[in-house]
């Protein structure tokens, strides 16, 4: 559960970058939307840390674990973005060849 909260936060952070926003959403996000998403992502990361501190015997241990989990979550997010980008590449090729589906 704690890991999923962090993963969601990291995916939201990925959404706020120009390149990955184009990968994860079909429409470009406005700067205001990106700002809101970034805020939610940081709140979720704070929630994750709070939950870890509550579950751990020591705040220092929880902080170390949270930092380590962030790395793994970021790796997962990067893999998800890469797979989605690869998955969408043939679609964009089709779109280029046959025009928009709409």
Q: Which residue has the tokens 């970058």?
A: 17
CB of 46 to other proteins, least distance (A): 17
Q: Which stretch binds other proteins (CB under 8 A): 11-19, 25-33, 43-51, 94-102?
A: 11-19
Residues 69-98 that bind other proteins (CB under 8 A): 69-72, 74-75, 77-79, 81-82, 85-86
Our finding on whether 46 is near other proteins (CB under 8 A) is no
Which of 88, 79, 93, 90 has its CA nearest to residue 23?
88
Q: Which is nearer to other proteins, 58 or 100 (CB)?
A: 58
Q: Is residue 29 helix, strand or coil?
A: coil
Q: Cβ distance 37 to 8 under 8 Å?
A: no
Cα–Cα distances (Å) from 61 to 1, 55, 64, 65, in that order, read 18, 10, 5, 6
> Which residues form the interface with other proteins (CB under 8 A)?
13-14, 17-20, 57-58, 60-61, 64-65, 67-72, 74-75, 77-79, 81-82, 85-86
């Amino acid at each position: 559960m704690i890991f999923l909260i962090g993963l969601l936060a990291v995916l939201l952070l990925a959404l706020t970058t120009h390149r990955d926003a184009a990968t994860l959403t079909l429409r470009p996000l406005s700067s205001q939307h990106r700002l809101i998403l970034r805020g939610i992502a940081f709140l979720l990361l704070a929630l994750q840390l709070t939950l870890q501190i509550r579950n751990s015997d020591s705040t220092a241990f929880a902080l170390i674990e949270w930092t380590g989990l962030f790395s793994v979550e970021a790796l997962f997010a990067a893999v998800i973005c890469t797979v989605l980008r690869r998955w969408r590449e043939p679609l964009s090729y089709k779109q280029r060849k046959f025009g928009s589906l709409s």
